[in-house]
Structure 1
């Protein structure tokens, strides 16, 4: 897909920027904006379609999990080693790169993807929850605000972005935090033979600590989730507006 888009930009810029009286594009971003305005990007104001949102969001989450898994493994091991008294200073990692290299050296390339299945479950399920919540909250807030006021301002858009993004982030972590707990256990386990089955690990945690144990770290996660995702969605909404993507 990205190859087709890039080729479309290339051809249009080559044609119009070389003609004597053609439409000139300042850069690729300007060209992208004009394409979206004139050839596509306008979406009818219909209610969210879960049959489209859920599979596309889950697929995107599954793909990104292959990038997140190694980076989060390194992050978790770096964070844990500072509080684990059983890890001698001589074997501690001095940097994220050092941690990644030591993991590959001792566990092989598969080691850097330890917890990959659990990450995939977290991201695919979580993204389906996130984008379903986002689309519905955004849709119904627009309906209410547009009915109450004829003024459509950037302030209203920002408010909708804050609420839809923040609530979507809270919904994401409220559902998939147990998978994140299991992932952390899998990635930081000292024994290579430790179980990598998230359901077995969560079952063990539940037997010893109940549901509360499966949701360890919920409070700081939600405190971070609302503002972080609100900021991300507001940025996305205004970027879409600048590029001329009409969603209403």
Structure 2
């Protein structure tokens, strides 16, 4: 029963991490999606940069415009993070066995993270499709159909494009999550390990206030760096995913590499990394919040980690 209880707790703390990530990171994500959808077309750039995009959203739609599609993100990321962190923790424990060595091992981290990333891509594909379509439809609607809510978007997509339509961009999401999360957890585990080794001292261990400050500081740095590593490695795949998901033409290619080739020919390498600024600006605080929430929720629930 203890094993089952610990497993359930891992999924609960994963949800807490997801909620924290959405609260902090969604406005940055809205700017990123708008840049990816509108600055990679054959008609040229709609927004000069991330600041121009943000100011346009605030002027035309207000603060609520930055949180468009957030309800689907809360639902999707809470469930996704629960499965992601929970599956990662369980797979890591299974591969690590009863080894007393707490030093990170690539042969344990990479398959655990890649498997959990591939699993959550099945949830992320439809939830991100509704989120992206909500985010790109400003007041000047470019598409024939306007959506009043993420649910309305999902229903209309199903009616027009069927089940296959709601999973548009699924292959790009799978590649992004499997590769990106392997990079994320390698960065997290190694940076956390080396920071603890460097900072740990009798002074910290004898003062509970310093211990809390140290743990939060390491959580912020390791989480922030891991999030930036994830997006630096996978942003081109995310650009392809956004284009595939926001294109309403059912005949358009769903092959992320073919789409990326098209973007490269139109906009060069800068087009493949469209939205890099707001993505990295979001990645650090959002993932720092997620890791701190994950680690401290685990402590509250009594999950012991080395």
Offset at residue 84 of structure 1 (A): 5.8
Which whole-Å CA distance do the structure 1 matches of 2:140 and 2:243 have between them?
A: 14
Offset at residue 120 of structure 1 (A): 0.7
User: Is 2:233 the counterpart of 1:171?
Assistant: no
Which whole-Å CA distance do the structure 2 matches of 1:189 and 1:79 have between them?
A: 13
Select the structure of larger CA radius of gyration: 1
Offset at residue 242 of structure 1 (A): 2.7
CA contact (8 A) 1:122 1:179 kept: yes
Offset at residue 208 of structure 1 (A): 2.2
- Provide the residue aligned with 2:15 in structure 1: none
Offset at residue 59 of structure 1 (A): 0.7
Which whole-Å CA distance do the structure 2 matches of 1:246 and 1:94 have between them?
A: 44
- Provide the residue aligned with 2:126 in structure 1: 70
How much is the aligned-residue C-alpha RMSD, in angstroms?
A: 2.4
**Could you report, residue by residue, the CA deviation over 1:214-238 in whole angstroms, capped at 9, with x for unpaired residues?**
0100110111110111111111112
User: Is 2:252 the counterpart of 1:194?
Assistant: yes
Offset at residue 239 of structure 1 (A): 2.1
Offset at residue 45 of structure 1 (A): 5.0
Offset at residue 211 of structure 1 (A): 1.4
What TM-score do the two structures reach when normalised by structure 2? 0.64
Give ranges in structure 1 of 5+ residues lacking alignment.
Answer: 10-41
State which of 159, 169, 173 in structure 1 corresponds to 2:217. 159
- Provide the residue aligned with 1:98 in structure 2: 152
- 1:1-248 aligned within 5 A: 5=4, 44-82=100-138, 85-88=141-144, 91-146=145-200, 148-152=201-205, 153-248=211-306
Q: Report the 3-state secondary structure (helix = DSSP H, G, I; strand = E; otherwise coil) of the residue aligned with 1:79.
A: helix
Offset at residue 104 of structure 1 (A): 0.6
Q: Report the 3-state secondary structure (helix = DSSP H, G, I; strand = E; otherwise coil) of the residue aligned with 1:114.
A: coil
Which whole-Å CA distance do the structure 2 matches of 1:84 and 1:180 have between them?
A: 24
Which whole-Å CA distance do the structure 2 matches of 1:131 and 1:211 have between them?
A: 27
- Provide the residue aligned with 1:21 in structure 2: none
Which whole-Å CA distance do the structure 2 matches of 1:93 and 1:85 have between them?
A: 10
**Could you report, residue by residue, the CA deviation over 1:86-138 in whole angstroms, capped at 9, with x for unpaired residues?**
424xx312221111111111111111001101111111111101011000000
Offset at residue 178 of structure 1 (A): 0.7
Which whole-Å CA distance do the structure 1 matches of 2:147 and 2:303 have between them?
A: 46
Offset at residue 75 of structure 1 (A): 1.1
Which whole-Å CA distance do the structure 1 matches of 2:203 and 2:197 have between them?
A: 11
Indicate how the Cα distance of structure 1 residues 228 and 122 shifts in structure 2: closer, same or farther if over 3 A, else same. same
Q: Report the 3-state secondary structure (helix = DSSP H, G, I; strand = E; otherwise coil) of the residue aligned with 1:168.
A: helix
Offset at residue 149 of structure 1 (A): 4.9
Give ranges in structure 2 of 5+ residues lacking alignment.
Answer: 9-97, 206-210
Offset at residue 76 of structure 1 (A): 1.1
Q: Report the 3-state secondary structure (helix = DSSP H, G, I; strand = E; otherwise coil) of the residue aligned with 2:204.
A: coil
